[in-house]
Structure 1
C-alpha cells in the first residue's frame, strides 16, 4: 500500500504562524510551543497561553528587525503579560523592555512571572490559574519606520515552583511563640 498514512497529530502539532491584534483575537499557543508571525512596525501582537497553579511562566520573544538600511534609528520593544482578567502582571525577572540599536538585526525580550497561585484575595493582583495574554509591540521608534516588516517568534514555558510557593506557604511554627 503506497498511500500516505495520516500524520499522527500533525494538525494539532502545527505551530501558529500568526498573532492576534487585540485581546479578543489573540492566537492560542501551548506551553513549549514556538509561534511565529509576520507583522509591521507599530502593530500590537497578541498570543494567549495557559498556566496552572504552582507554575512559574516565562515568555521569550525575539523580533527580527527590517534591514538597517531601511530604518531611521533605534527602536524600543516591550513585552507585556496579562492574566485572564486582563490585569497587567509585573515581571519578577527578565528584560521586558529593550532598546534595539539602529543597526541591530534582532531584539530578544523575556519575562518571568511570579508563581501562579491557586487562590487569591479579591484585592490582590496575584497571578491566578488560567489564560495569560502576551502583547509584543514597539513602544518607541522613528515615525518614518512605521509599517516596515518585522518577524516575531514567541515561546511560553513554565516550571513547577514547588515547595511553599506552590500553595501560598505554610508556617511550621509560629514566628513569635506565645509564652
Structure 2
C-alpha cells in the first residue's frame, strides 16, 4: 500500500512538472498586430530591413539587386526562413535562379539543415520559392565554432547566373521567418555575455559612461518578446527533477521489497 501511495504521488508530480515543459516547447508566438509588416528591403547588411518572427515582409525589387532583411533569434529556437519571388513571365528571355543566404550577427554564413536555398524559375514560370531551416540556436559555443548563437540574423536574397537581358526586370518578393522552440534537448551549460547584435557593445558602453539609456549606436533594435537569453528555462530542468524523483522512488521500492516482512527470523534451538 505504501508503495502504491508513493507511485500515485509520483504520477501527480510528473503531471504537474510536464505541464510547464509542454507550454515551454510550443512554437514562438506571432508578433502583435500593432506592428506593420515592412514593405521594402535593404541593399546591404547595414541597411537591412528589420522584421519580426511571424511577420510576412514584402518588397518590390529589380532582378540583379541584393535584398537584405534582419531578424532576432534566441537560444533554443530553430528558425525557418522562406522567400517567394513572383516574376513577370512575359518579358523574360530565359530562366532565373534565385538564392537565399542567412548570416549571423558576425556576418558568418550559416548552413541550412534542409531546404532549397537555390531554385531556378523557368521562362514561363510565375513564381519561385526558396527556404532555409537553420540549425538550433545555441546559448554558447566555442570561439572557433560556427554554431548559430543568439542575436541578429541577416537574410540575403538575390539572383545568380542571370542573363544580361533580364537585368532590372521587376520582381515582387515575400519573406517570412518562423521558429520552433526545441526545448531542453538543445540546452547547453553556458551563455553569451551579450547577444550578437551589431552595435550593442558600443551602446552599452555609451550608456554606462553617460548613465543614460541610448540606442543611437545600435544597428538593430528588435529583440525577443521576453528579452534576450529568454531560453534559460527549459524542460531540461523539469526532466532532471523527474529523474531525481524516479531514482528516489526506485530506492524506496527496492528497500521495501528487500527488507522482508519486518519480523525476526526463527532461530533454531541449540543442538539442532
> Under a length normalisation based on structure 1, what TM-score does the superposition of the two structures give?
0.85
Aligned counterparts of 1:132 and 1:118: Cα–Cα separation in 2: 15
Question: 1:45 corresponds to which residue?
Answer: 67
Output the aligned Cα RMSD.
1.6
Structure 1 or 2, whichever has the larger Rg, is 2
97, 109, 112: which one aligns with 1:88: 109
Flag as ranges the 4+ runs of structure 1 deviating above 3 A: none
Q: Paired residue for 1:15? A: 37
C-alpha distance in structure 2 between counterparts of 1:96 and 1:69, whole Å: 25
Larger RCO, structures 1/2 (Cα 8 Å, 6+ apart) = 1
Partner SS, residue 113 of structure 2: coil
Q: More helix by proportion, 1 or 2?
A: 2
Corresponding residue number in structure 2 for 1:166: 187
Q: 2:176 aligns with which of 140, 155, 162?
A: 155
Q: How does 1:25-64 map to 2 (within 5 A)?
A: 25-64=47-86
Question: Unaligned regions of 5+ residues in structure 1, if any?
Answer: 1-8, 173-179
Number of matched residues? 160
Q: How many Å separate the matches in 1 of 2:187 and 2:174?
A: 29
More strand by share: 1
Contact 1:115 1:166 in 2 (8 A): no
Kept after mapping to 2: 8 A contact 1:46/1:135 = yes
- CA shift for structure 1 position 161: 1.1
After superposition, give the CA deviation of every residue in 1:60-118 in whole Å (9 maximum; x if it has no partner). 0000112x220010011100000000000011111111111111100001100000000
